[in-house]
Structure 1
Amino acid sequence: MSGSLNVLVIVAIIALVVVRQLKPQRLDANGKVWWLLPAVLAFMAVREPGLLDAAHPAESGALLAVGVVIGALTGAAWAWTMRIWTDPDGAVWSSVRPVTAAAWLLGAALRFGLYGVGLLMGVHLGTQATMLSVAATLLARTGTMVWRAQTLRPTYRVAAGG
Protein backbone atom coordinates (compact mmCIF):
# COMPACT_ATOMS: atom_id res chain seq x y z
CA MET A 1 0.00 0.00 0.00
CA SER A 2 1.38 3.41 -0.87
CA GLY A 3 2.30 6.00 1.75
CA SER A 4 -0.55 8.25 0.60
CA LEU A 5 -3.09 5.48 1.03
CA ASN A 6 -1.63 4.65 4.46
CA VAL A 7 -2.07 8.29 5.49
CA LEU A 8 -5.66 8.24 4.24
CA VAL A 9 -6.42 5.06 6.20
CA ILE A 10 -4.82 6.45 9.37
CA VAL A 11 -6.70 9.76 9.13
CA ALA A 12 -10.01 8.03 8.37
CA ILE A 13 -9.70 5.66 11.32
CA ILE A 14 -8.66 8.39 13.74
CA ALA A 15 -11.52 10.62 12.53
CA LEU A 16 -14.04 7.78 12.88
CA VAL A 17 -12.87 6.89 16.38
CA VAL A 18 -12.73 10.50 17.60
CA VAL A 19 -16.13 11.43 16.13
CA ARG A 20 -17.69 8.35 17.75
CA GLN A 21 -16.18 9.38 21.09
CA LEU A 22 -17.76 12.84 21.07
CA LYS A 23 -21.16 11.50 22.13
CA PRO A 24 -21.99 8.99 24.87
CA GLN A 25 -21.50 5.49 23.57
CA ARG A 26 -22.85 2.17 24.76
CA LEU A 27 -20.06 -0.34 25.35
CA ASP A 28 -20.13 -4.04 24.73
CA ALA A 29 -18.92 -5.44 28.06
CA ASN A 30 -18.32 -8.84 26.48
CA GLY A 31 -15.75 -7.37 24.11
CA LYS A 32 -15.96 -10.12 21.52
CA VAL A 33 -14.12 -8.39 18.64
CA TRP A 34 -12.62 -5.30 20.26
CA TRP A 35 -9.17 -6.29 19.02
CA LEU A 36 -10.15 -6.65 15.33
CA LEU A 37 -9.53 -3.09 14.06
CA PRO A 38 -6.12 -2.80 15.80
CA ALA A 39 -5.17 -6.24 14.44
CA VAL A 40 -6.07 -5.19 10.88
CA LEU A 41 -4.05 -1.99 11.25
CA ALA A 42 -1.05 -3.88 12.65
CA PHE A 43 -1.24 -6.41 9.81
CA MET A 44 -1.37 -3.60 7.25
CA ALA A 45 1.67 -1.98 8.89
CA VAL A 46 3.90 -5.07 8.95
CA ARG A 47 2.88 -6.83 5.74
CA GLU A 48 5.05 -4.74 3.42
CA PRO A 49 8.78 -4.05 3.60
CA GLY A 50 9.82 -0.61 4.75
CA LEU A 51 8.62 -0.62 8.35
CA LEU A 52 12.23 -0.03 9.39
CA ASP A 53 14.68 2.40 7.79
CA ALA A 54 17.10 0.16 5.86
CA ALA A 55 19.95 2.65 6.39
CA HIS A 56 19.39 2.76 10.17
CA PRO A 57 17.71 -0.53 11.20
CA ALA A 58 18.68 -0.46 14.89
CA GLU A 59 17.76 3.19 15.39
CA SER A 60 14.50 2.91 13.47
CA GLY A 61 13.64 -0.27 15.40
CA ALA A 62 14.22 1.54 18.68
CA LEU A 63 12.12 4.53 17.56
CA LEU A 64 9.40 2.15 16.34
CA ALA A 65 9.35 0.40 19.73
CA VAL A 66 9.16 3.74 21.55
CA GLY A 67 6.35 4.80 19.21
CA VAL A 68 4.37 1.65 19.95
CA VAL A 69 4.87 2.17 23.70
CA ILE A 70 3.77 5.81 23.36
CA GLY A 71 0.73 4.60 21.42
CA ALA A 72 -0.17 2.03 24.08
CA LEU A 73 0.26 4.55 26.90
CA THR A 74 -1.83 7.10 24.99
CA GLY A 75 -4.59 4.52 24.50
CA ALA A 76 -4.54 3.55 28.18
CA ALA A 77 -4.61 7.21 29.25
CA TRP A 78 -7.47 7.82 26.84
CA ALA A 79 -9.46 4.94 28.35
CA TRP A 80 -8.73 5.89 31.96
CA THR A 81 -9.83 9.49 31.42
CA MET A 82 -13.19 8.47 29.95
CA ARG A 83 -16.30 8.68 32.10
CA ILE A 84 -17.85 5.22 32.39
CA TRP A 85 -21.13 4.25 34.06
CA THR A 86 -24.04 1.82 34.00
CA ASP A 87 -27.61 2.80 33.30
CA PRO A 88 -30.60 1.38 35.23
CA ASP A 89 -30.82 -1.51 32.76
CA GLY A 90 -27.20 -2.49 33.46
CA ALA A 91 -25.83 -1.32 30.10
CA VAL A 92 -22.37 0.24 30.26
CA TRP A 93 -21.85 3.67 28.73
CA SER A 94 -18.84 5.92 28.23
CA SER A 95 -18.23 9.52 27.28
CA VAL A 96 -15.27 11.84 26.98
CA ARG A 97 -14.28 14.38 29.59
CA PRO A 98 -12.12 17.46 29.06
CA VAL A 99 -9.12 15.60 30.46
CA THR A 100 -9.57 13.02 27.68
CA ALA A 101 -8.75 15.70 25.11
CA ALA A 102 -5.59 16.44 27.09
CA ALA A 103 -4.63 12.76 26.84
CA TRP A 104 -5.18 12.84 23.05
CA LEU A 105 -3.12 16.01 22.67
CA LEU A 106 -0.30 14.75 24.87
CA GLY A 107 -0.13 11.50 22.90
CA ALA A 108 -0.05 13.40 19.60
CA ALA A 109 2.66 15.76 20.91
CA LEU A 110 4.78 12.81 22.04
CA ARG A 111 4.34 11.15 18.65
CA PHE A 112 5.37 14.33 16.78
CA GLY A 113 8.30 14.68 19.17
CA LEU A 114 9.36 11.14 18.29
CA TYR A 115 9.27 12.05 14.59
CA GLY A 116 11.43 15.08 15.42
CA VAL A 117 13.97 12.86 17.18
CA GLY A 118 13.96 10.60 14.12
CA LEU A 119 14.62 13.57 11.84
CA LEU A 120 17.49 14.76 14.02
CA MET A 121 18.99 11.26 13.89
CA GLY A 122 18.47 11.02 10.13
CA VAL A 123 16.06 8.10 10.58
CA HIS A 124 13.00 7.84 8.35
CA LEU A 125 9.83 6.82 10.18
CA GLY A 126 7.21 6.09 7.56
CA THR A 127 3.46 5.81 7.64
CA GLN A 128 3.71 2.14 8.57
CA ALA A 129 5.28 3.11 11.91
CA THR A 130 2.42 5.55 12.49
CA MET A 131 -0.11 2.87 11.59
CA LEU A 132 1.46 0.45 14.08
CA SER A 133 1.41 3.15 16.76
CA VAL A 134 -2.27 3.89 16.05
CA ALA A 135 -2.98 0.15 16.29
CA ALA A 136 -1.30 0.07 19.71
CA THR A 137 -3.32 3.12 20.79
CA LEU A 138 -6.63 1.57 19.76
CA LEU A 139 -5.72 -1.83 21.21
CA ALA A 140 -4.79 -0.34 24.60
CA ARG A 141 -7.77 2.03 24.62
CA THR A 142 -10.38 -0.52 23.69
CA GLY A 143 -8.87 -3.29 25.80
CA THR A 144 -8.82 -1.00 28.84
CA MET A 145 -12.41 0.11 28.20
CA VAL A 146 -13.60 -3.50 27.88
CA TRP A 147 -11.80 -4.38 31.10
CA ARG A 148 -13.31 -1.37 32.89
CA ALA A 149 -16.78 -2.24 31.56
CA GLN A 150 -16.48 -5.80 32.85
CA THR A 151 -15.53 -4.61 36.34
CA LEU A 152 -18.52 -2.28 36.76
CA ARG A 153 -21.46 -3.28 38.84
CA PRO A 154 -24.92 -2.05 37.86
CA THR A 155 -26.05 1.13 39.64
CA TYR A 156 -29.33 -0.57 40.64
CA ARG A 157 -29.56 -2.98 43.58
CA VAL A 158 -31.44 -6.26 43.91
CA ALA A 159 -33.54 -6.54 47.08
CA ALA A 160 -31.98 -8.89 49.65
CA GLY A 161 -33.80 -12.15 50.25
CA GLY A 162 -36.04 -11.48 47.24
Structure 2
Amino acid sequence: MEPLQIAALSLLVLALVVYRQMRTRPARSRGLLVFGLVLTVAGVYGGGLFDTGFSVLGVAVVAVEVAMALAFGALRAWTVRVWRDADGVAWSRGTGWTLLAWLVSFAARLALFAAGGALGLTYRPAAALVFAGLTVAAQAVLVARRGRTFAGAEWVPAAPQVARDR
Protein backbone atom coordinates (compact mmCIF):
# COMPACT_ATOMS: atom_id res chain seq x y z
CA MET A 1 0.00 0.00 0.00
CA GLU A 2 1.29 3.45 -0.87
CA PRO A 3 2.00 5.98 1.93
CA LEU A 4 -0.77 8.31 0.74
CA GLN A 5 -3.27 5.45 0.73
CA ILE A 6 -2.23 4.42 4.24
CA ALA A 7 -2.59 8.02 5.46
CA ALA A 8 -6.05 8.38 3.89
CA LEU A 9 -7.18 5.03 5.26
CA SER A 10 -5.83 5.91 8.72
CA LEU A 11 -7.73 9.21 8.76
CA LEU A 12 -10.93 7.52 7.61
CA VAL A 13 -10.62 4.80 10.22
CA LEU A 14 -9.86 7.27 13.02
CA ALA A 15 -12.86 9.38 12.00
CA LEU A 16 -15.03 6.27 12.34
CA VAL A 17 -13.48 5.45 15.74
CA VAL A 18 -14.06 8.98 17.02
CA TYR A 19 -17.64 8.90 15.73
CA ARG A 20 -18.30 5.63 17.56
CA GLN A 21 -16.77 6.95 20.76
CA MET A 22 -19.11 9.93 20.74
CA ARG A 23 -22.15 7.63 20.76
CA THR A 24 -23.56 5.77 23.76
CA ARG A 25 -22.29 2.19 23.85
CA PRO A 26 -21.54 -0.53 26.40
CA ALA A 27 -18.42 0.30 28.41
CA ARG A 28 -17.12 -3.23 28.01
CA SER A 29 -17.10 -3.07 24.23
CA ARG A 30 -14.16 -5.14 23.03
CA GLY A 31 -14.52 -4.02 19.43
CA LEU A 32 -12.26 -1.00 19.79
CA LEU A 33 -9.65 -2.99 21.69
CA VAL A 34 -9.52 -5.65 18.98
CA PHE A 35 -9.52 -2.98 16.30
CA GLY A 36 -6.64 -1.14 17.99
CA LEU A 37 -4.63 -4.34 18.25
CA VAL A 38 -5.27 -5.14 14.58
CA LEU A 39 -4.05 -1.68 13.58
CA THR A 40 -0.95 -2.08 15.72
CA VAL A 41 -0.12 -5.50 14.27
CA ALA A 42 -0.72 -4.20 10.74
CA GLY A 43 1.66 -1.31 11.43
CA VAL A 44 4.37 -3.55 12.83
CA TYR A 45 3.89 -6.05 10.03
CA GLY A 46 4.08 -3.23 7.48
CA GLY A 47 7.69 -2.69 8.53
CA GLY A 48 9.77 0.41 8.29
CA LEU A 49 9.05 1.57 11.82
CA PHE A 50 12.63 2.71 12.26
CA ASP A 51 14.65 4.88 9.93
CA THR A 52 17.65 2.62 9.33
CA GLY A 53 19.86 5.58 8.42
CA PHE A 54 19.53 6.96 11.95
CA SER A 55 18.98 3.86 14.02
CA VAL A 56 19.31 5.37 17.52
CA LEU A 57 17.33 8.48 16.63
CA GLY A 58 14.73 6.40 14.78
CA VAL A 59 14.24 4.09 17.76
CA ALA A 60 14.01 7.11 20.08
CA VAL A 61 11.29 8.70 17.94
CA VAL A 62 9.32 5.45 17.84
CA ALA A 63 9.66 5.17 21.64
CA VAL A 64 8.31 8.72 22.01
CA GLU A 65 5.46 7.86 19.62
CA VAL A 66 4.54 4.79 21.66
CA ALA A 67 4.62 6.77 24.91
CA MET A 68 2.51 9.54 23.35
CA ALA A 69 -0.01 7.04 21.99
CA LEU A 70 -0.48 5.42 25.39
CA ALA A 71 -0.62 8.76 27.21
CA PHE A 72 -3.21 10.21 24.85
CA GLY A 73 -5.26 7.01 25.05
CA ALA A 74 -5.26 7.36 28.84
CA LEU A 75 -6.16 11.05 28.64
CA ARG A 76 -9.10 10.38 26.33
CA ALA A 77 -10.28 7.48 28.51
CA TRP A 78 -10.38 9.90 31.42
CA THR A 79 -12.62 12.29 29.43
CA VAL A 80 -15.17 9.62 28.47
CA ARG A 81 -18.33 9.62 30.56
CA VAL A 82 -19.03 6.21 32.12
CA TRP A 83 -22.18 5.36 34.07
CA ARG A 84 -24.36 2.45 35.09
CA ASP A 85 -28.02 2.23 34.16
CA ALA A 86 -30.85 0.92 36.34
CA ASP A 87 -30.24 -2.61 35.08
CA GLY A 88 -26.61 -2.50 36.22
CA VAL A 89 -25.10 -2.29 32.73
CA ALA A 90 -22.12 0.05 32.38
CA TRP A 91 -22.26 2.52 29.47
CA SER A 92 -19.86 5.06 28.03
CA ARG A 93 -19.97 8.06 25.74
CA GLY A 94 -17.32 10.51 24.66
CA THR A 95 -17.63 14.15 25.63
CA GLY A 96 -16.51 17.38 24.07
CA TRP A 97 -13.28 16.94 26.02
CA THR A 98 -12.80 13.57 24.33
CA LEU A 99 -13.07 15.20 20.93
CA LEU A 100 -10.64 17.93 21.98
CA ALA A 101 -8.19 15.30 23.26
CA TRP A 102 -8.41 13.54 19.89
CA LEU A 103 -7.57 16.79 18.10
CA VAL A 104 -4.64 17.46 20.43
CA SER A 105 -3.30 13.93 20.00
CA PHE A 106 -3.55 14.28 16.23
CA ALA A 107 -1.72 17.63 16.36
CA ALA A 108 0.97 16.14 18.62
CA ARG A 109 1.45 13.24 16.21
CA LEU A 110 1.83 15.68 13.31
CA ALA A 111 4.32 17.76 15.32
CA LEU A 112 6.39 14.66 16.08
CA PHE A 113 6.27 13.71 12.40
CA ALA A 114 7.48 17.21 11.47
CA ALA A 115 10.22 17.11 14.12
CA GLY A 116 11.43 13.76 12.78
CA GLY A 117 11.49 15.20 9.28
CA ALA A 118 13.46 18.21 10.47
CA LEU A 119 15.99 15.83 12.03
CA GLY A 120 16.36 14.01 8.73
CA LEU A 121 14.24 10.95 9.43
CA THR A 122 12.18 9.55 6.59
CA TYR A 123 8.42 9.08 6.77
CA ARG A 124 7.29 5.71 8.09
CA PRO A 125 3.60 5.14 7.24
CA ALA A 126 3.48 2.04 9.41
CA ALA A 127 4.30 4.16 12.47
CA ALA A 128 1.02 6.03 12.00
CA LEU A 129 -0.87 2.73 12.16
CA VAL A 130 1.03 1.67 15.28
CA PHE A 131 0.32 5.05 16.93
CA ALA A 132 -3.39 4.85 16.04
CA GLY A 133 -3.69 1.24 17.15
CA LEU A 134 -1.96 1.72 20.47
CA THR A 135 -3.88 4.87 21.36
CA VAL A 136 -7.26 3.30 20.52
CA ALA A 137 -6.43 0.09 22.41
CA ALA A 138 -5.19 1.99 25.48
CA GLN A 139 -8.37 4.05 25.60
CA ALA A 140 -10.58 0.97 25.15
CA VAL A 141 -8.87 -0.91 27.98
CA LEU A 142 -9.10 2.02 30.39
CA VAL A 143 -12.75 2.82 29.62
CA ALA A 144 -13.66 -0.85 30.13
CA ARG A 145 -11.75 -0.84 33.41
CA ARG A 146 -13.69 2.23 34.56
CA GLY A 147 -16.92 0.45 33.65
CA ARG A 148 -15.93 -2.52 35.80
CA THR A 149 -15.39 -0.29 38.84
CA PHE A 150 -19.12 0.04 39.31
CA ALA A 151 -20.10 -2.50 41.95
CA GLY A 152 -22.52 -5.01 40.53
CA ALA A 153 -22.24 -3.79 36.97
CA GLU A 154 -23.37 -6.51 34.62
CA TRP A 155 -21.32 -7.34 31.59
CA VAL A 156 -24.19 -8.37 29.37
CA PRO A 157 -24.27 -5.99 26.40
CA ALA A 158 -27.68 -4.42 26.13
CA ALA A 159 -29.09 -2.66 23.09
CA PRO A 160 -27.88 0.97 22.97
CA GLN A 161 -31.44 2.27 22.61
CA VAL A 162 -32.20 0.89 26.10
CA ALA A 163 -29.48 2.99 27.74
CA ARG A 164 -30.59 5.89 29.84
CA ASP A 165 -28.15 8.77 29.90
CA ARG A 166 -28.15 10.31 33.34
The TM-score bracket by the shorter chain reads: 0.7 to 0.9
Give the superposed CA RMSD.
1.9
Following the alignment from structure 1 to structure 2, what is the Cα–Cα distance between the partners of residues 33 and 93? 14
Following the alignment from structure 2 to structure 1, what is the Cα–Cα distance between the partners of residues 117 and 39? 24
Secondary structure, aligned partner of 2:82: strand
Structure 2 stretches lacking a partner, 5+ long: 154-166
Correspondence 1:106 to 2:104: yes
Give the TM-score normalised by structure 1: 0.84
Give the TM-score normalised by structure 2: 0.83
| Counterpart code for 2:76 | W
Following the alignment from structure 2 to structure 1, what is the Cα–Cα distance between the partners of residues 149 and 139? 16
Secondary structure, aligned partner of 2:71: helix
Following the alignment from structure 1 to structure 2, what is the Cα–Cα distance between the partners of residues 125 and 151? 41
Name the counterpart of 1:120.
118
Following the alignment from structure 2 to structure 1, what is the Cα–Cα distance between the partners of residues 74 and 20? 17
Identity score, percent: 28
Following the alignment from structure 1 to structure 2, what is the Cα–Cα distance between the partners of residues 7 and 117? 18
Q: Contact between 2:81 and 2:94, CA under 8 Å: does it hold in 1?
A: yes
Change over 3 Å in CA distance of 1:45–1:92 after alignment to 2: same
How far 1:105 moved relative to its partner?
Answer: 2.0
Structure 1 stretches lacking a partner, 5+ long: 156-162
Secondary structure, aligned partner of 2:83: strand
Runs of 4+ in 1 over 6 A off after TM superposition: none
Max Rg structure:
1
Alignment size in residue pairs: 153
Name the counterpart of 1:69.
67
How far 1:33 moved relative to its partner?
Answer: 6.2
Following the alignment from structure 2 to structure 1, what is the Cα–Cα distance between the partners of residues 5 and 43? 12
Correspondence 1:140 to 2:138: yes
